[in-house]
Amino acid sequence: MQVLTAWNTPVGWIVKMSPSFHADWPSYYAAVSIQPPRHTLIRTLTLFERERRLDAQARSQPEARESRKSEATSARVLRAADLGCGNGRDTILLLERGWQVLAIDAERQAIATLRDRVQKRARHTPNLGQHLTTQSCSFADIDWPASLQLINASFSLPFCPPDRFLGVWQAIRQVLQAGGWFCGQFFGDRDEWSVYDNVTSVSRSELLVLLQGAKIIELEEEEYDGQTATGTPKHWHIFHVIVQFPKATSGEILTEC
């Protein structure tokens, strides 16, 4: 993670800061407007649905039926959050698959575009919008629900500033129910944007610390010279992650990276 370095001099404190990253998110939304949902979310939903089918089969066994009755009732409502939802490419998939979704983005235009897309789809899929709630705020200010079964964060958490990142990550872990899923991307420490003081990047070992206690379903590391969605050349270093968390224990302390 980026470290702010400071040292004492005869003229007082000089703080050496890296430059900040300034994103033009509206241009990004326009560039990805017809892009499909992220592969990490599609894969997670496939695995989640398979797990549910197997659970349902197990519950239908006579000996399991009684003891699992209340669990089955509560499992019927599927609740997810989409952190940094952007123009809603992932949120819409979740809604279409029957999830109640809390979509969060700091950019007002993201939420407005998402709502507009959902409304346009209402002709084919009525009631889609009834299962959507939104918050236009930064990750550090999210008003978290009591619990969720899935948190999706596609290419968004790296833009949480390092000084807020661990708090946000801790909240994610706490809100996920027993067996809750997380999917999304982290920037690696060799990503070109890791130099910015408001971008959070992690080494592979730092990531493994963050994921401690979780079942790692998929962890794919990618590093290549490519370009951004808007066509600027960039060196990418990305971790694509799908994990499933056990119930968070109260007072859990995350190791500082």
Cα separation of 118 and 122, whole Å? Answer: 6
Cα separation of 223 and 238, whole Å? Answer: 6
Cα separation of 161 and 157, whole Å? Answer: 9
139 binds ligand SAM (CB under 6 A): yes
162 binds ligand SAM (CB under 6 A): no
Q: Which is nearer to ligand SAM, 149 or 156 (CB)?
A: 156
Which of positions 202-231 make contact with ligand SAM (CB under 6 A)? none
Cα separation of 85 and 152, whole Å? Answer: 9
Which one of 92, 94, 103, 106 is in contact with ligand SAM (CB under 6 A)?
106
Which of 159, 188, 182 lies closest to 170 in space, CA to CA? Answer: 182
DSSP helix/strand/coil, 221: strand
Which one of 138, 170, 174, 177 is in contact with ligand SAM (CB under 6 A)?
138
Output the smallest distance, CB 55 to ligand SAM, in A. Answer: 29
x/- track of binding to ligand SAM for residues 67-96 (CB under 6 A): -----------------xxx--xx------
155 binds ligand SAM (CB under 6 A): yes
Question: What's the Rg (C-alpha) of the chain?
Answer: 20
Neighbour-count burial of 172, counting CB atoms closer than 10 A to its CB (0-12 exposed, 13-18 middle, 19+ buried): buried
Output the smallest distance, CB 174 to ligand SAM, in A. Answer: 18
Q: Which is nearer to ligand SAM, 105 or 206 (CB)?
A: 105
Q: Which residues bind ligand SAM (CB under 6 A)?
A: 25, 28, 32, 38, 84-86, 89-90, 105-107, 110, 138-139, 154-156, 159-160
